[in-house]
Structure 1
Amino acid sequence: MATPTSKNTGAPKKAAPAKKTTSKSADGKVKAKSDAAEGLRELFIDSLKDIYWAEKALVKTLPKMAKNATTESLVAAIEEHTEVTIAQVQKVESVFELLGEKAVAKKCEAMDGLIKEGQEIMESTESGPVRDAGIIAASQKIEHYEIATYGTLVAFAKTLGENEAAAILEEILNEEKEADSVLTDAAYNDINFEAAGEDGVEGEDDAVKTGDAI
């Protein structure tokens, strides 16, 4: 007996229905990217408000440091940086303008603490090389904070495509680096050696007194 074979009608087989692709995944990524950019922008502006407050506070603080300093080169360096800082306030304001934001200062707790530390040094030391060394130490802490902050702001601005703002912030960053370099030179070339010498003289006096007592 012949085995029955299936009839081949020659009709083409129906293709399986194509799976519908959705753009949910792509849309999710775009939204996540958009949210991240918006979050970074908010962080950028918030950090800008911090440094704006810091610069305005320094405009008031630096003249006090210059008044308490005794070394001519240190006084000149602080007075010069005061003028630079006044200009920096205006530069930060121009960055706000580029971003379409109102220039608003938000209290910077970090800078407030550094300024208070500098004030404590001036109050707890006598006028002279030791106080000058303390003023330099406090000033350099301030500069290092500003260098770190402006470096971050430059990176944020570039990431957000705010290249004009980034250029202004980078200009301020370079000014802060220059100020730090000037303070370092003053510390190594004059003031710290004078402060050490002043302590050394006091030590010699104590030794003489001790010797006389024996």
Structure 2
Amino acid sequence: MAMNTLKDIYLDQLQDLWSANTQSLPVVTELGRAATDKELSEALIAGGNGISDGIAALEKLCADHGIAPNAEHCKGMEGLVKEARAHGLSDDISDPDVRDAAIIPQYQRMVHYALAGYGTLVAFANRLGLDGDAAVLQQCLDQTYGGDRHMTAIAMQGGVNKDAVA
């Protein structure tokens, strides 16, 4: 697709974020199964549910604009997924508390990619006068921010990092 207008970039970014979400979902599920801290595991399951909701929303927006969601492959998320598997699911981590502490930054790196994507898409949709799109994307952005804040709270106030020190 030629990138001649903001709308062209908007549509391309919808597809990129769909690709990012579809790539991150399986590893978030794996991280959730690997986590031993109950609160962390539950947060990752909720994060996976949020990613699934985002995928569905992006699929609908793509369909509304007459484009296939899978026309892009997000290389950025591909790298983040590899890092999450290498550093959050590594066999080199034998202590489950240390693994839990390692999972959090890997998850948050993927989430921060989604935050940037949703935030940009909200701005583009608003500028293009796509109020319905903007509302859907803002809801996805808000949900993603909520998950990120919850993960930060687990790291800072929960027992995960404290347990990993011992």
The TM-score, its normalising length taken from structure 1, stands at 0.71
Q: Distance in 1 between matches of 2:78 and 2:140?
A: 20
Equivalent residue, structure 2, for 1:39 = 5
Q: Match of 2:72, as an amino acid?
A: K
**Aligned to 2:70, what secondary structure does the other structure show?**
coil
Supply the distance in 1 between the matched residues of 2:131 and 2:67 (Cα, whole angstroms): 16
1:117 paired with 2:78, answer no
Residue 60 of structure 1 corresponds to: 26
Please, which runs of 5 or more residues in structure 1 have no aligned partner? 1-35, 199-214
Aligned length in residues:
161
CA contact under 8 A between 1:98 and 1:165: conserved in structure 2?
no
* Offset of residue 81 of structure 1: 1.6
* CA–CA separation in structure 2 for the residues paired with 1:119 and 1:126: 15
Match of 2:125 among 138, 141, 157: 157
RMSD: 1.5
Alignment of 1:178 with 2:142, yes or no, is no
Structure 2 CA distance for aligned equivalents of residues 105 and 181 of structure 1: 31
How big is the shift at 1:105?
A: 4.4
Contact 2:16–2:74 (8 Å) recurs in 1:
yes
TM-score (norm 2): 0.91
Deviation at 1:47, TM superposition (A): 1.0
> Identity of counterpart residues, as a percentage?
29
Give CA deviations for 1:105-156 in whole Å, capped at 9, x if unaligned.
Answer: 4111111111111111121322411111110011111111111111001001
Aligned residue type for 1:106: E
Distance 2:80 2:95 in 1: 20
- Pair 1:70 & 2:39 matched: no
Q: Is the 8 A contact 2:84 2:107 kept in 1?
A: yes
SS at match of 2:12: helix
Between the aligned partners of 1:105 and 1:194, the Cα distance in structure 2 is 43
Q: What residue is the counterpart of 2:136 in the other structure?
A: 168
1:96-111 paired onto structure 2 within 5 Å: 96-111=62-77
Contact residue 69 and residue 131 of structure 1 kept, 8 A: yes
Could you tell me which amino acid in structure 1 is paired with residue 125 of structure 2?
A: A
Q: Whole-Å Cα distance in 2 between the matches of residues 142 and 173 of structure 1?
A: 14
8 Å CA contact retained: 2:97, 2:160: yes
Structure 1 distance, partners of 2:57, 2:25, is: 14
Tell me, yes or no, if structure 1 residue 79 matches structure 2 residue 48. no
Distance between the aligned counterparts of 1:118 and 1:142, measured in 2? 8
Normalized per residue, which structure has more helix?
2
5+ long unaligned stretches in structure 2? none
**Bigger RCO of structures 1 and 2 (CA < 8 A, at least 6 apart):** 2
Q: Which residue identity does 1:62 align to in structure 2? A: V
